[in-house]
Chains A and B, each alone.
Chain A
Amino acid sequence: MNASEPLVRVEGLTHYYGNHLGCRDVGFELYESEVLAVVGESGSGKTTLLNCLSTQIVPTSGKVMYRFRDGHVENLFDMSEAEQRVLLRTDWGFVMQNPRDGLRMGVSAGANVGERLMSVGNRHYGNIRKTALDWLERVEIDPTRIDDSPRTFSGGMQQRLQIARNLVTSPRLVFMDEPTGGLDVSVQARLLDLIRRIVADLGLSIVIVTHDLAVARLLSDRIIVMKNGKIIEQGLTDQVLDDPHQPYTQLLVSSILQVGA
């Protein structure tokens, strides 16, 4: 296995919803342990791109080449749906903006974390529970709440639970769609700290969609700026944010509130 090969290589990814453009001719590479932020205004095709990458929708054209653990590289859209779904619950994670969409609200926190373990064939209750407890602790949820329903959790706790649920099978690639959206600023900060620590610990690759440039700056190594379904600028996060070339990016950067600057 060659670690200098990209984990994901996207080529000419285009998706139309009927006549309506989702995203057009998107291409980029993502390496292992790299965090890539996708920014842009709403309607710019960020979520369409994320859904294509995670095989939730099949793009109109284009390829997403993925390097598997055994080193072989395959176009995700040449795989069967069964294989895609196995990938989604083992090698990948998907953290949704609204934790209610990503969690199973009818069952306890422990079952939420344990579900992936059971879906990959773990059939030992004691072990599943131990792992769930361990993960709750890692995402700073009081382990005594393991049997409580996520309905009784605060928004920030639900989001952290969703992260634990996704990371329990040690994925290599995690997709995040506005994970800090709808949380207040102090909870956001805590969540970002947590994500940063876990990413560093596990060496995760992350594609994070956000409209919040502060989140992008804090978490990501590289950044993609999208507008009208196309990538208009990409590069190292600090480079793009400190020296934006495109007028739209300049507008985005200049519209951030400069707190304490």
Chain B
Amino acid sequence: MSLDTISAEAPAYNFAYLDEQTKRMIRRAILKGIAIPGYQVPFASREMPMPYGWGTGGMQVTAAIIGPDDILKVIDQGSDDTTNAVAIRNFFKRTAGVAMTFRTADASIIQTRHRIPEEKLRSDQVLVFQVPIPEPLRFLEPRETETRKMHALSEYGLMHVKLYEDIAHHGHIATTYAYPVMVENRYVMDPSPIPKFDNPKLDNTPALQLFGAGREKRIYALPPYTRVKSLDFEDHPFSVQDWPDTQCAMCGATGVYFDEVILNDLGERMFVCSDSDYCEHRQEAGHFGAEHASYKERMK
């Protein structure tokens, strides 16, 4: 029995859970973040009915910007139907009652964890990221007073120390997710734990990109068409992962980010698009991968 069925009265929550004063406070932080691309704006993060680390920052940002006419899409690791995505979608269905979609193209707000959709975003869309640790310098410099000073004075030599360590120990830059970026030649920013494969999508995007870190109480933003450059060395330039011989087992796509799916105890596996909506869209359009056909045959 859910709470709604106990009482016949209308749900006791305000629209999108947060009270209006809180939303105004968060909107002010968002506006400041948009005004200073890449700068981490402190905000009075609220307790959400979900543990930290499950996207409480992203949820607060979404709650602050969502309106009754918005269409929301929630993705977790590229997929619309994993636990985190389902939980957050149900939360907003219950507290805001807005329309939900799986379709990237139909959504006006997309809250995401760990991925940027493969489909190109438009200027009428907002992408909201869930961020666990907003401070890219944190693991090298534990003092918040010091990292703030370093951001203020644009002292970013330390960020390259991390990349140096990667090359020294692995022969190449081994950072594959949460890969630090330079925003408009001013602030170094943690793009949240998206794979570095998605880093180029941050650059010059028509959509507004907002980042919320609930536990760390920080909001930052990339306004549309912001220059975002991944950090690198002259002799070790930034590059994204590529899998030249791999295509999606379901839709046959190439040049996308894949999930590896283990099929049995013998170690057989297949690769499928991490972006589930993109994959289904392609299948509807008649593109099939190897496993897809065999699946159909088995069903006959």
Chain A interface (Cβ < 8 Å from any Cβ of B): 81-82, 85, 89, 104, 106-108, 110-111, 114-121, 123-126, 128-129, 146-147
Contacts and interface: CB of A to CB of B under 8 A. Distances in A.
B155 A124 contact: no
Given A123-B233, A125-B235, A128-B164, A107 B140 contact: yes
Interface string B248-282: 00000000000000000000000000000000000
Interface string B153-188: 101111011101101110000000000000000000
A114 B161 CA distance: 8
19 contacts: A81-B149, A82-B153, A85-B155, A106-B139, A108-B169, A110-B164, A110-B168, A111-B161, A118-B158, A118-B160, A118-B164, A119-B157, A123-B160, A123-B233, A124-B233, A124-B234, A125-B234, A125-B235, A128-B164
A111 B234 contact: no
Contacts of B157: 89, 115-121
Interface residues of B, number: 21
B287 interface: no
A120 B160 CA distance: 11
A125 B155 CA distance: 18
Interface of B: 139-140, 149, 153, 155-158, 160-162, 164-165, 167-169, 232-236
Nearest to B162: A107
Residue among A89, A111, A120 with most chain B CB within 10 A = A111
Contacts of B162: 107
Contacts of B169: 108, 147
A89 B161 CA distance: 15
B234 A123 contact: yes
Contacts of A115: 157-158, 161
Contact of A111 (B153, B155, B168, B236): B168
Contacts of A85: 153, 155
Contacts of A119: 155-158
Contacts of B168: 108, 110-111, 129, 146-147
A108 B139 CA distance: 14
Contacts of A116: 157
A117 B234 CA distance: 14
Nearest to B167: A125
A175 to B, nearest CB: 20
A107 B165 contact: yes
